[in-house]
Amino acid sequence: MAKNKSPKPGEVDVPTGKLLDELRVPPGAVDLSAYDTRATTGFSGSKDEGKVALEQLGDEVSDWQERLFAEGRKGGQRRILLVLQGMDTSGKGGVIRHGAGLMDPQGLRITSFKAPTPAEKRRGFLWRIRQALPGPGIVGIFDRSHYEDVLIARVRNLVAPPVWNRRYDQINEFEAEVTAAGVTVVKCFLHISREEQKARLLARLDDPTKHWKYNPGDVDERQLWPAYAEAYQAALERCNTADAPWYVIPSDRKWYRNWAVTTLLLETLKGLDPQWPPPDFDVEAEKARLEAT
């Protein structure tokens, strides 16, 4: 009855779905200033309705997540990798807390990438990324990622231009490889305006329960906003492959951002359409054996 859709490597398709299609970055040149950071693409309700809509995704997204998890426990190789990128305060942590937080934590693997350690630097920039890839059936989430190696590394001249310049192709090869191994890659750029960032940083300074999140270095990075915008545009242009496309999430409205990314996850899970694995034992025989105990 249950068709076993456990795929072979290379069979994973780019996810499709209504919101995925709407938020996907078209191939070609990217002009981030043309994207409205306050848009609520695909959602027509109010903020309060958006919060309710997010909560209502919970059961459905965790049901599909469990199906994928079950498939992975029975030999399936498929898994999802959600890559979250965005300027400071764009809400990578908020998406994880409020969106991924709706899922079963047993089926999540969350990795937050900080500045690489000396040991990591010696290994090549993709080494630590490979270590953090989700296993079969798991939804992996990267809070920052290998894209930092063409973002801060480029803006801050952490490596010479020929080095970061080569990385776009290296990233594309890497993402093609992991896609072929069963990973569906969903890359989200959480897009906020410069004004919104200022408001959020001020809010952190005004709230003693948020001081721990504030880092004076954030203001230094903010002063490089145009350079970061340029670096993001380059990443969204040069690493926007059919295997692993980019999505721009309008993120000035936190409730929309959380709803949108969670909806992308749900559409991706539904697109994979994992089925409950058939029994690998004789159900009636097991019932009899159990009854005898």
Residues in contact with a second copy by CB under 8 A are 1-2, 62, 70, 73-74, 93, 96-97, 100-101, 103-106, 108, 110, 112, 143, 198, 201-202, 205, 208-209, 211-214, 216, 219, 222-223, 276-279, 281, 283, 286-287, 289-290, 293
State both tokens at 124.
Answer: 């090549």
Name the minimum Å distance from CB 62 to a second copy: 8
- Whole-number minimum distance, CB 214 to a second copy, in Å? 7
CB of 159 to a second copy, least distance (A): 26
Give the shortest CB-239-to-a second copy separation in angstroms: 25
**Closest to a second copy by CB, 51 or 238:** 51
Q: How far, CA to CA in Å, does 13 sit from each of 130, 180, 186, 244, 245?
A: 21, 10, 12, 10, 11
Q: Taking Cα atoms as reference points, which of 86, 89, 92, 98 lies closest to residue 32?
A: 86
- The residue among 14 and 70 lying less far from a second copy, judged by its C-beta, is 70
CB of 185 to a second copy, least distance (A): 20
Nearer to a second copy, 166 or 211 (CB): 211
As measured in angstroms, the least distance from the Cβ of 16 to a second copy is: 25
- For the bound state, the minimum distance from the C-beta of residue 245 to a second copy, rounded and expressed in Å, comes to 25
Pick between residue 97 and residue 130 the one whose CB is nearest to a second copy.
Answer: 97
The total of other beta-carbon atoms located within 10 Å of residue 250's CB is 20
- In sequence order, what DSSP letters do the residues of the chain get, joined into one string? -----PPPTT-PPPP--HHHHHHBPPSS---GGGS-TT--TT--S-HHHHHHHHHHHHHHHHHHHHHHHHHHHTT---EEEEEEEESTTSSHHHHHHHTGGGS-GGGEEEEE--SPPHHHHTT-TTHHHHHT---TT-EEEEES-GGGGGTHHHHTTSS-HHHHHHHHHHHHHHHHHHHHTTEEEEEEEEE--HHHHHHHHHHHHH-TTTGGG--THHHHHHTTHHHHHHHHHHHHHHT--SSS-EEEEE-SSHHHHHHHHHHHHHHHHHHH---PPPPSS-HHHHHHHHHT-
Nearest to 125, CA basis, from 173, 70, 182, 167 = 167
Nearer to a second copy, 29 or 283 (CB): 283
CB of 168 to a second copy, least distance (A): 29
Q: Which is nearer to a second copy, 22 or 286 (CB)?
A: 286
Q: Which CB sits closer to a second copy, 107 or 250?
A: 107
Of residues 46 and 215, the one with the C-beta less far from a second copy: 215
